[in-house]
């Protein structure tokens, strides 16, 4: 079996897909590899490769981490037409299989992948069984627990652009927490309509969110606690090595600082040599552990381990937009966080990384539906006053992406249900910048 996934071509692994391939191979005796499909790949050459690869074999292809790409969704359809059994798993598998609600009365909405996917699998791969391959037009859902398979073969990743090439992973992922604790924070926010739609019948709407309002992972996974430390260490032990040390890895946990010190203690006790740990975390995690960070970083420095805050979810430098995003932080919190990072940099030098020119890429969402002269001036002023352009601001911002299964997707559908406005769909994404009007423009 081949598990297809989105890939950028960078030397990073794909934890979920590679874990699934390892499970299929070692637990179910189904030979499996992962093939990352780069953008602008040659479809003709891919089909030629598949004909050779599957010659005399059962034609089963799985997909994970579509990343909203229409070309991958089209690839699923074409493989099914060619007689493949098609499977989707991984992030948002259930939501992408089912599609948006009320598609009969709103035919422009994403209808889901039922017609192109034989089997959708939601949840940890541990629940998958060989007999599932013989059951079509079905969605299987299994609950997340801490007792999951975490054995990963990091050598099973390949890339395809024009030809199949073995991909050497130099940045892995280690699972520390299942889901995000902030997703358990239920809240309601009043959202104004997109700026461009004022005067077109759209009004302020009350929208419920669990965690960040643009996050589709909270719908997909929620939060299911930290793994046990021995499970985390077991993953680290299995990582590839380079020059006598484990390759850098991202610790998957939106609140990693609560357990990072204990992790360093265990690594030291077991004489495991690490090179670098990358953290993707929230502002409130940094602020809550500001007093603990010097001790944690001293542990890392003593073991010659670099700690990189690879991505912190600032997302905006406007209090109004932070409120709309349901981030649970303010500009004041962001300033406090950045000042902490700068102080730590002065003390720990090369063992502490957080700057853009050190490889970090922090969250900054722009444009958004609510950008106007006031918010743009506010953000530009704050970026200048607090010198965020020196170290924090990424080279390119990220436009607000609305996945159909996010809480912002609910907001868009509320607008559509109460007005004559319809928004375009691009695969699994909703184009908030592309409205049309049933009565004409």
Q: At 201, phi and psi to the nearest 5?
A: 95, -10
If one counts every other C-beta atom within 10 angstroms of the C-beta of residue 230, the result is 8
Write down the pLDDT at residue 10.
95
Positive/negative CA dihedral, 38, 44, 47, 49: negative
- The DSSP bridge partners found for residue 308 are 278, 353
How confident is the model at residue 68, as a pLDDT?
A: 87
> Does the structure show a pLDDT above 60 at 441?
no
pLDDT at 219 over 80: no
Compute the CA torsion angle 339, 341, 344, 350 (nearest 10 deg). Answer: -140
Express each pLDDT in 372-425 by its tens digit. 999 999 999 999 999 999 999 999 999 999 999 999 999 999 999 999 999 999
Residue 367's pLDDT is what?
A: 97
Q: List C-alpha distances in Å: 399 to 123, 191, 366, 389.
A: 29, 18, 5, 18
374 to 334, 351, 378, 380: CA distances (angstroms): 20, 40, 6, 10
Place of tokens 């007005």: 419
Alpha-carbon torsion (131, 55, 119, 178), positive or negative: positive
- For the chain, the first-to-last Cα distance in angstroms comes to 49
* pLDDT tens column, 178-189: 999 999 999 999
Q: pLDDT tier at 198 (50, 70, 90 boundaries)?
A: confident
Residue 39: is its pLDDT beyond 90?
yes
Cα-Cα-Cα-Cα torsion 124, 125, 126, 130, nearest 10 degrees, comes to 150
At 35, list the tokens. Answer: 């093939």
Output the pLDDT for position 439: 65
Quick one: how far is CA 254 from the chain centroid? 11
Contacts of 193 (CB under 8 A, 6+ apart): 200, 202, 203, 204, 205, 369, 415
pLDDT of residue 311: 98
Q: Which two tokens stand for residue 348?
A: 């720990």
Task: Please say if the pLDDT value at position 155 is more than 90.
Answer: yes
- Is a pLDDT exceeding 90 seen at residue 97? yes
Tens of pLDDT, residue by residue over 274-327, are 999 999 999 999 999 999 999 999 999 999 999 999 999 999 999 999 999 999
- Taking a C-beta distance cutoff of 8 angstroms, is the pair 288, 256 a contact? no
Question: What confidence category does residue 83 fall into, taking pLDDT thresholds of 50, 70 and 90?
Answer: very high
* Helical axes 229-237 vs 257-269, angle rounded to 10°: 60
Give the β-pairing of 60-64 and 85-89. Answer: parallel
Measure the CA–CA gap between 295 and 282, rounded to whole angstroms.
20
Portion of the chain with pLDDT greater than 70, in percent:
99
Measured distance CA(67)–CA(72) in Å, rounded: 9
Residue 146, CB half-sphere, CA atoms under 13 Å: how many? Answer: 11
- Pairing, β 172-175 against β 164-166: unpaired
* 138-153 average pLDDT score: 92
- Alpha-carbon dihedral sign for residues 271, 276, 282, 287: positive
pLDDT at 19 over 80: yes
Inter-CA distances, 38 with 11, 34, 66, 77, 164, Å: 13, 13, 11, 18, 11
Is the four-CA dihedral 368, 373, 375, 380 of positive or negative sign?
positive
């Amino acid at each position: 079996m081949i598990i297809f996934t989105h890939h950028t071509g960078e030397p990073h692994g794909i934890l979920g897909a590679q874990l699934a391939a390892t499970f299929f191979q070692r637990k179910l005796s189904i030979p499996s590899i992962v093939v990352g499909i780069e953008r602008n790949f040659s479809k003709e050459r891919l089909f030629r490769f598949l004909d050779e690869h599957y010659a005399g074999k059962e034609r089963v292809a799985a997909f994970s981490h579509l990343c909203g790409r229409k070309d991958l969704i089209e690839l699923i359809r074409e493989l099914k037409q060619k007689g493949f059994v098609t499977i989707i798993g991984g992030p948002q598998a259930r939501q992408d299989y089912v599609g948006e609600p009320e598609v009969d009365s709103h035919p422009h909405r994403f209808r889901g992948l039922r017609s192109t996917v034989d089997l959708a699998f939601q949840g940890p791969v541990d629940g998958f069984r060989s007999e599932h391959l013989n059951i079509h037009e079905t969605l299987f859902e299994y609950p997340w627990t801490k007792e999951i398979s975490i054995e990963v073969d990091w050598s099973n990743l390949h890339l395809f652009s024009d030809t199949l090439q073995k991909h050497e992973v130099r940045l892995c992922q280690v699972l520390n927490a299942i889901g995000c604790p902030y997703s358990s924070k239920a809240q309601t926010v009043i959202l104004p309509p997109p700026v461009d739609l004022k005067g077109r019948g759209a009004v302020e709407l009350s929208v419920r969110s669990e965690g960040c309002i643009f996050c589709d992972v909270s719908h997909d996974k929620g939060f299911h606690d930290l793994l046990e430390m021995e499970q985390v260490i077991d993953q680290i032990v299995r990582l590839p090595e380079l020059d006598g040390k484990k390759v850098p890895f991202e610790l998957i946990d939106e609140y990693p600082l609560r357990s990072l010190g204990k992790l360093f203690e265990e690594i030291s006790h077991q004489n495991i040599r690490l090179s670098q740990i990358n953290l993707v975390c929230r502002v409130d995690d940094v602020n809550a552990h500001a007093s603990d960070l010097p001790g944690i970083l001293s542990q890392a420095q003593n073991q010659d381990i670099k700690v990189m805050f690879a991505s912190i979810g600032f997302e905006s430098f406007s209090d109004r937009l932070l409120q709309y995003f349901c981030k649970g932080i303010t500009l004041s919190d962001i300033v406090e966080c950045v000042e902490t990072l700068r102080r730590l940099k002065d003390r720990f030098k090369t063992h502490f990384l957080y700057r853009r020119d050190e490889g970090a890429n922090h969250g900054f969402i722009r444009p958004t539906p609510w950008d106007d002269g006031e918010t743009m001036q506010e953000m530009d002023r704050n970026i200048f006053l607090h010198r965020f352009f020196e170290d924090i601001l990424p080279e390119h911002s990220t436009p607000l992406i609305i996945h159909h299964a996010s809480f912002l997707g609910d907001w868009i559908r509320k607008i559509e249900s109460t007005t004559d406005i319809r928004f375009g769909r691009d695969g699994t994404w909703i184009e908030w910048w592309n409205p049309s009007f049933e009565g004409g423009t």
